[in-house]
Amino acid sequence: MNQTPQHAPEPSAMPTAGIAAESACHLSPDFRSIEHLPGFEVVELRRYTTSHDGRKRFASYFDTYFPEAFEQLGAMVFGQFLPREQADRFVWLRGFRDMPARAVVNARFYYGPLWREHRMKVNALLPDSDDVLLLRPLRPDTAVAVLPAVDPVDEADGAQGIVVAQIFAVKKGSESVFAAHAEAQFESYRVAGVRAAGILVTLDEPNNFPQLPVRTDGPWLVWLGVVRDEAALHAQLEPAMQAVASALLASGMLRDAPEWLAMDPTPRSRLRWLPGAGEVGR
């Protein structure tokens, strides 16, 4: 199912941005192309509700028009996904260098020519786009991995794998203790066919682009990962996630049961299973 790029990196190669990045001298040419893309300290986990039967159409518009537009402005679309259990939902991850950059990039994009051209047909497919978590990496080494863009020649079948998000509603005042406890539990996710892709926590900053609302009912902690295939998801990761959810809920530091999303990347999603990329994160 997965198609290996012609110049896939060696198994030990790592992207320069993201968890446990190695020095550039150990990177293959594929990963050298993204050396200029580390350091996205602000992350939005955006969950949209699409109109009935509109998700596929919206995903096609998104893949076609928007990722490079944000990159050209200095932001990053880490990946975009279709949740399996929610047929009307579309999820994507957007990164900014910092909060001032967030305001600048959003103003340039949403008042710019590309969005003005396409906004009517795109917004018509989105009855709700306000479910947004404003996040930051727990530490620099848990930043969301930036992977090379999908190669239209060597990855003709598009992005592969399954992206998983586990979302924890943390009790206020328990953030640091819970994060340490959660990281210890996440060790059980280090299994064959699973790569960690980031650990994020609530960024407690005022929304500096109020035209785009963000949720204020945090705090949150989010674990992100990429899974090779169905077998790895169901036999390896899912049982571990269920055990971790039960253990962390029993800690008394959560406001609600953990939520988890299994999602298919859209054809052009950077965050995907990339054969030969080694461990994206640990």
Q: Which residues contact 274 (CB under 8 A, 6 or more apart)?
A: 5, 8, 147, 148, 161, 280
Number of domains observed in the structure of the chain? 1
pLDDT at 150 over 60: yes
Residue indicated by tokens 């279709």: 82
Percent of the chain residues topping a pLDDT of 70: 87
Model confidence at 276, in pLDDT bands (50, 70, 90)? low
Three-state DSSP state, 79: strand
- Domain assignment present for residue 138? The answer is yes
Tokens at residue 104, please?
A: 């600048």
- Domain assignment present for residue 89? The answer is yes
Average pLDDT over residues 258-281: 85
Average pLDDT over residues 39-55: 96
pLDDT at 10 over 70: no
| Residue 47 to residue 123: CA distance in whole angstroms | 14
Q: What is the pLDDT of residues 68-100, one digit of tens each?
A: 999 999 999 999 999 999 999 999 999 999 999
- Domain assignment present for residue 177? The answer is yes
| Residue 31 to residue 49: CA distance in whole angstroms | 34
pLDDT at 120 over 80: yes
Average pLDDT over residues 102-124: 98
Domain residues for 213? 24-265
- Domain assignment present for residue 248? The answer is yes
- Domain assignment present for residue 278? The answer is no
**Looking at per-residue confidence, does 220 or 17 come out higher?**
220
| Residue 155 to residue 77: CA distance in whole angstroms | 19
- Domain assignment present for residue 18? The answer is no
- Domain assignment present for residue 3? The answer is no
Q: What is the pLDDT of residues 108-117, one digit of tens each?
A: 999 999 999 9
Phi, psi (deg, nearest 5) at residue 171: -70, 135
Task: Please list the residues that pair with 227 across neighbouring strands.
Answer: 162, 194
pLDDT at 13 over 60: no
pLDDT at 38 over 90: no
- What pLDDT is recorded for position 278? 54
Residue indicated by tokens 């975009």: 80
Q: Rounded to the nearest 10 degrees, how much is the dihedral formed by the CA atoms of 38, 258, 162, 89?
A: -90
| Residue 210 to residue 135: CA distance in whole angstroms | 16
Mean pLDDT of the chain: 90
CATH of the domain at 165: 3.30.70.100
Q: What is the pLDDT of residues 230-241, one digit of tens each?
A: 999 999 999 999
pLDDT at 11 over 70: no
Q: What is the pLDDT of residues 57-66, one digit of tens each?
A: 999 999 999 9
- Domain assignment present for residue 277? The answer is no
- What pLDDT is recorded for position 21? 41
